[in-house]
Structure 1
Amino acid sequence: MVFVGDVYIKRDDPPSMLTSVRSVLRDADISFGNLEGPITDRGEPLLGKPIAGVHFQSPLNTVTALSDGVFDVMSLANNHSMDLGPEGIMQTVEVLDEANIQHCGAGADDAAARMPAIISRGGSRFAFLSYSSVFQPGAFPATADRPGIATVRVHTAYQPSPRVFEQPGSPAIPVTTADEVDHETLMADVRQARDVADFVIVSWHWGISQSYRKIADYQVDLGRAVIDAGANLVIGHHPHVLQGIEFHGDGLICYSLGNFAFDRESPHFDSETAILTCRVVNGEIDRVTVIPVLINDSHEPEIVEGDRAGAVLDLVERESAPFNTSVIRKNGIAVLQPAAAPAT
């Protein structure tokens, strides 16, 4: 399987976005990405978003870049999926269905949004779940009678720095915890997916963007919790930068794969990104690699070699080191492994 981060395509020739990477995506048994925003010509821009005017909308011909085996399944749970309201997300579902691209994380109601996409390959069944913890309350979550996305609410509190009296004005320390009801629902979803599949992937739109590389404590807690509940792999996105990769138990957590193909400018976006590959044997992770990718000036991902590849892998290694992940470089890619335990 291959996994990439955020995909937002808005151009006259959509397939041109993926020219350099198309063969890698097509050659995989399963290819996955996060569709950042609706593919639609319906609906009205959602009012009241905190960043006024930031609405993502891709034209209907965008699906020509994603179809014909380029992507097998896409996540729809993110903070732009509902930018054109219920009509926009439901047309996106229709467009993907017509193109035979499976999807997860959004639907006509809460049950549909939380329903896993199931793909069978090599005699095994793979279940894909998708959630967002970054969203506009009220308008984005699917309910029993309204289209939307699958969400996991997170509560934020702040505690003083232990040196606040010694150093007045010290920044407060954020403390983030999952909503108890959503946490229980999430665990039940994972367990149910595990009952019907041999391998479970959880896609998660989470974390903090705006070039802020710190991973919030709720991400570590929830990422490990879903692995403990039966998931094999967590694929994170939203920060628009690469973040660390952690082995936990028999599973793997990628906190952010960054942007991958993104037709939008921002000083907070990195050009470094990656294609994560995961070989699965008998329902277990057998080998994990990172293919280094840089996003060019036309917003297109390009697989790179030499020093350019080395810079991307340096970033992966630096961000993954706190999670005790070894990055072993071989022939221009990186093989990821849990670091060996120290000798006793």
Structure 2
Amino acid sequence: MRRYRLPLSPLAHAGHPAAAGHPVAGLSIAGLVAAVFLAAGLALAKPAALEAQAFEDARGDMSIALAGDAIISRKMSPYREPEFLALRDIIRNATAAFVNLEILFHDYEDDVIPAAASGGTYMRAEPEIAHELAWFGFDMVSIANNHTMDFGAGGARRTVEATEAAGLAIAGFGENLAEARAPAYVDTPGGRVALISIASTFNDAMRAGHQRPDMRGRPGLSPIRYERHVTVTADQMAGLRDALSAAGRGGGSGPRLNFGGMTFMVGDKPGVKTVPNAGDLAEIVEVVKEAQRQAEWVIVTSHTHEGADRREVPADFIVEAARAFIDAGADMFVGHGPHILRAVELYQGKPIFYSLANFAMQNETIEFQPQDNYEAQGLGYEDLPGKFQDVRIERAGASSFPAGKGFWESVVPYVEYEGGKLKEIKLYPITMGWQLPRPVRGRPMLADDALGKEILEGLAQLSAEFGTTMTVENGVGVIRP
């Protein structure tokens, strides 16, 4: 940048004997500076060189790669298949890349204790595995999900330490609710990115709590709770009140009845609708607004298992919440959790991915499980993890992960912006090796043409229900505004 150095004449100093007779004597400092600039033949306006200068991260050109749940318990860097390395290159070539971290990194230290309730499998991998995600090209992860507190606050803290040691920004857990809600920031050539991580699927003991002046907050994840509103006929409401009174619970009166975590109300069209918790929604909206003040790009991501009448369709409350976050200034919403794909919506010209399913699915090769999980499968102290997995899968039958083809397929979106506006979304279909042996399956790679077409056509059908048009070009799904 060109700099102008304009030394003042010694006569300009008020203490100089000749100052009183100098042409600029008596001028204010501002007037003196103006006189000097004019004397030098310069205008007070910003030099043209500065007007034309542009910072790279303010131009608005950006690319963001996204992935769903990373249940990664083994190294990925040793593998060399072309389809595997090509997927890695897609992620590495993006300006920024995100994945949901559905694993905990620790070495069973003294402060890492299995919780009484978990997200199912007690998720754990060696801390060095965090570097595998960085090797793949990711630079930010979310941790708010139903496994955040599998090993208590100690496990979550160790995970944050290992993740940050690998150079990854992480959001969604904190020592209190304000910390858990706070964005993580990543500085990139395309601009500063804010990541806000929340979850709707969790055991209530995992939820972070507000801090008070006279009481510390509760460590945990950042929640987006929801409520079920059940519309019934007048006769059904009367019958429900009578049943509760007979059970000694009290039927109450008025237009609404709260029972069993649901709100019942009389209406013309019976049905069930979920709505976001008003307090949680308001808090997260304010975090989004703050993130927009501090970053060029804002991503909100939620771990949400809950669906509507079909598992493939997102629940009402998360649709409402996702749109509210976009209205508040978020650039995109990224969902994950049900382990299957859900629709892509363009809302106000901004993408909402209701579920990106899985990116890595290696929960079957986690080394240890607490005795609680063995007992749940009728197993004893002498049994080991491999047998635990065998029995659990056999008991689950057709509903188990190994049996469900859709659990092993997904897409990796590559979102491109030009001049600050969405240019296009490319959706790369991936497979994690359904029906391959347990030690093999779970690692992602680009799907072949036939499987890729099948994955994209299914996603296109789901997205069409939200008014989104997707085309398939050279084996890649494309969405353009």
The TM-score normalised by the length of structure 2 is 0.64
Aligned to 1:48: 117
Aligned to 1:342: none
CA distance in 1: counterparts of 2:77 and 2:209, whole angstroms: 31
Report if aligned partners of 1:104, 1:116 keep a CA contact under 8 Å in 2. yes
Q: 2:348 aligns with which of 225, 249, 253?
A: 249
Report if aligned partners of 1:176, 1:216 keep a CA contact under 8 Å in 2. yes
Tell me the CA shift for residue 147 of structure 1.
2.2
CA distance in 2: counterparts of 1:57 and 1:257, whole angstroms: 22
Q: How does 1:123-134 map to 2 (within 5 A)?
A: 123-134=190-201
| 2:361 is equivalent to residue 262 of structure 1 | yes
SS in structure 1 of the partner of residue 208 of structure 2: coil
Q: Which moved more, 1:216-225 or 1:56-65?
A: 56-65
| 2:78 is equivalent to residue 6 of structure 1 | no
Give the AA of the match of 1:279: E
Report if aligned partners of 1:14, 1:61 keep a CA contact under 8 Å in 2. no
Distance 1:48 1:68, change over 3 A: closer
Tell me the CA shift for residue 45 of structure 1.
1.4
Q: 2:319 aligns with which of 213, 220, 242?
A: 220
Tell me the CA shift for residue 17 of structure 1.
7.7
Aligned to 2:162: 95
Q: Which moved more, 1:232-241 or 1:148-157?
A: 148-157
Report if aligned partners of 1:199, 1:284 keep a CA contact under 8 Å in 2. no
Report if aligned partners of 1:156, 1:177 keep a CA contact under 8 Å in 2. yes
SS in structure 2 of the partner of residue 3 of structure 1: strand
Give the AA of the match of 2:410: T
Tell me the CA shift for residue 161 of structure 1.
9.0
Q: 2:337 aligns with which of 238, 242, 246?
A: 238
Give the AA of the match of 2:94: A
- The structure in which a higher percent of residues are helix is 2
SS in structure 2 of the partner of residue 193 of structure 1: helix
Give the AA of the match of 2:89: S
Aligned to 1:32: 98
Report if aligned partners of 2:228, 2:275 keep a CA contact under 8 Å in 1. yes
CA distance in 2: counterparts of 1:214 and 1:334, whole angstroms: 20
Tell me the CA shift for residue 274 of structure 1.
0.6
SS in structure 2 of the partner of residue 113 of structure 1: helix
CA distance in 2: counterparts of 1:209 and 1:260, whole angstroms: 20
Give the AA of the match of 1:304: A
| 2:304 is equivalent to residue 304 of structure 1 | no
SS in structure 1 of the partner of residue 427 of structure 2: strand
Q: How many residues are treated as equivalent by the alignment? A: 327
Report if aligned partners of 1:37, 1:82 keep a CA contact under 8 Å in 2. no
The sequence identity of aligned pairs, in percent, is 28
CA distance in 1: counterparts of 2:136 and 2:432, whole angstroms: 22
- Deviation per residue, 1:110-162 (Å, 9 max, x gap): 22222212223235222111100111113333543332111111112333499
Distance 1:142 1:77, change over 3 A: farther
CA distance in 2: counterparts of 1:119 and 1:282, whole angstroms: 20
Distance 1:185 1:17, change over 3 A: farther
Give the AA of the match of 2:301: S
Tell me the CA shift for residue 218 of structure 1.
0.6
CA distance in 1: counterparts of 2:287 and 2:206, whole angstroms: 22
Aligned to 1:285: 422
- Deviation per residue, 1:209-247 (Å, 9 max, x gap): 798223111111111111111111000000100110000
Aligned to 1:137: 204
Give the AA of the match of 1:310: K
CA distance in 2: counterparts of 1:73 and 1:279, whole angstroms: 18
Greater C-alpha radius of gyration: 2
- Deviation per residue, 1:1-28 (Å, 9 max, x gap): 10000001123x3535897132222222
Report if aligned partners of 2:196, 2:299 keep a CA contact under 8 Å in 1. yes
Aligned to 2:374: none
Aligned to 2:4: none
SS in structure 1 of the partner of residue 204 of structure 2: coil
